[in-house]
Amino acid sequence: MATTNDIKNGTILKLEGQLWNIIEFQHVKPGKGGAFVRTKMRNVMSGKVVDKTFNAGLKIETATVDRRDYQYLYQDGTDYVFMDTSDYDQIHVPAETVGDAKNFMLENQTAVIAMYEGSPLYIELPPSVVLEITYTEPGLQGDRSSAGTKPATLETGYEIQVPLFVEQNTKVKVDTRTGDYLGRVS
């Protein structure tokens, strides 16, 4: 057991049988009344974000989450197979847990997997990855402005919007949190 004074960004709390990840917190000491802690939390399983206020010094239950580096190996049916880079153990992660990360994962890529009591909770990719465009319509002569965009299919099969001047077989940097095009890579 911990108290609200131990809350930090990234702390995992166990409330009403569910796991919540602290995104933001703020200790507040008003002029009148007792101090409290204002938090913004994300449900680890559903991704739902809520605001919650705790009285200062309140006892809370924290969950110990093991975060390790894993290497993505291959897809096996609906599961994704990862290998622990420290002891070479392989784990199967269901597609629901992988979520949108599948749009940016290539074989042999490293990802951080958060485990709780032996089961994977979520996958964290680096903030950006470099992927190759496998298909996009050719740009027309004169389409060199930054105003327009066109759809482009990445080597993972995911489709993003890129500027008109980007061509097929170009390597691009993509934001893994939003799926936005960040620039070309030489």
DSSP H or E segment with residue 97? helix 95-98
Average pLDDT (100-124) is: 90
Q: For residues 28 and 144, which has the higher predicted lDDT (pLDDT)? A: 28
Domain parsing of the chain, residue ranges: 2-60, 66-124, 128-185
CATH number of 128-185: 2.40.50.140
Rounded Cα–Cα distance for residues 39 and 50 (Å):
8
Amino acid occupying residue 134: T
The reply to whether domains 66-124 and 128-185 share a CATH topology is yes
Q: For residues 131 and 148, which has the higher predicted lDDT (pLDDT)? A: 131
User: What topology is assigned to 2-60 in CATH?
Assistant: SH3 type barrels. (2.30.30)
Copy the structure tokens of residue 176: 């893994």
Binning pLDDT at 50, 70 and 90, where does residue 141 land? low
Average pLDDT (115-135) is: 90
CATH number 3.40.50.2300 given to 66-124: no
Q: Is 103's pLDDT higher than 90?
A: yes
pTM of the complete model: 0.73
